Chains A and B, each alone.
Chain A
């Protein structure tokens, strides 16, 4: 019996704790630096992206997604499981609304505070409360099997 043709060529060895930590620190530093230099911490720039008044950041995001698609195909990156469950669309609607009115997706209020926008601490507080509420609501009422909790 031979390996499935779509399976990766060799069994993967797990990364060590140290290399995952290094990846997180490097990626975190680079992500914080990058999104700030692109302008994601600036509510005016985010609003201009969502109203198509300025296509610069939209193109940056779409261009990044396109480059990642190509790179992942070339590198044959492992597929992650993902199922369309009942929470995806409502969750995305709530998230899109929150991003549009506060200017923050989960990483952005962190760099807003780092840029000196002190009220973004309130956005972070809201995210913390929203995430606790989400887990509580799912356990108590929604009972959605969201599959792997990690995307």
Chain B
């Protein structure tokens, strides 16, 4: 069994994933929002269908401009007489944020996390099918299987409810959001990390 990575290797790898995803996709990495969208796939699919019907704003604008030119000549498009403040054109407008990543890509993200984890566990000799959560969980939280199931389910509900209420998790707020120095993400990260420290210290004190 190989040792866990040193801190600097972990830092470089996590940063590479976050930066690589952002550059390749022009979107923000967020696992909890991927979960939420996959879970609400019916609504999400409907939104995608409507979105596709409305089409691309830029394409629509270009088509309208072309139709106007055909009807009224190039001058009509170049100098709109009625506009007090002419539109400076698409280049000067603040860029619209890209649409949410297609639903299928978010499902692929979650499945890929599983595959990546499986490869890591197998190649580092840590893969072991077991019915508990490890020695430390048994020592610190509970070694009773029924209590364990209750604690894990309760913890999961708190994570699912809390991340969506706060609008992100350790990847969305912690890495992508703090990386952009967004105040809301820095606040959320400080609060969830601080709370986890307090709860863990209380848990450690009780065991």
> Which A residues are closer than 8 A to B by beta carbons?
1-4, 7-8, 10-12, 14-15, 17, 19-39, 41-45, 47, 50-52, 55-57, 59-69, 71-72, 75, 77-85, 87-107, 109-120, 122-135, 137-138, 142, 144, 146-151
Contacts and interface: CB of A to CB of B under 8 A. Distances in A.
Most buried by A among B39, B105, B160, B163: B160
Contacts of A149: 33, 36-37, 100, 167
A133 B98 CA distance: 28
Contacts of B50: none
Interface stretch (B63-71, B76-84, B130-138): B130-138
A68 B179 contact: yes
Contacts of A27: 17, 20-21, 24-25, 29, 109, 112
A96 B196 contact: yes
Given A51-B197, A115-B121, A87 B166 contact: yes
Closest 6 CB pairs of A and B: A126-B156, A130-B160, A28-B112, A32-B116, A102-B155, A63-B11
Contacts of B136: 42-44, 47
A60 to B, nearest CB: 3
Given A42-B134, A95-B159, A113-B114, 6 more contacts: A21-B104, A94-B159, A103-B133, A120-B152, A125-B156, A135-B164
B10 A34 contact: yes
Interface string B77-95: 0000000000010111011
Contact of B152 (A96, A105, A107, A126): A126
Given A19-B25, A134-B160, A151-B33, A64 B175 contact: yes
A142 B165 CA distance: 10
19 contacts: A1-B88, A15-B98, A30-B20, A30-B116, A32-B113, A34-B13, A44-B134, A47-B140, A47-B203, A88-B165, A96-B194, A96-B196, A105-B169, A111-B116, A117-B134, A119-B148, A119-B152, A127-B156, A128-B39
A139 to B, nearest CB: 11
A52 B204 CA distance: 11
Contacts of B7: 55-57, 59-60, 63
Contacts of A3: 88, 91-92
A45 B157 contact: no
Given A83-B184, A103-B137, A8 B95 contact: yes
A89 B29 CA distance: 21
Most buried by A among B10, B31, B151: B10
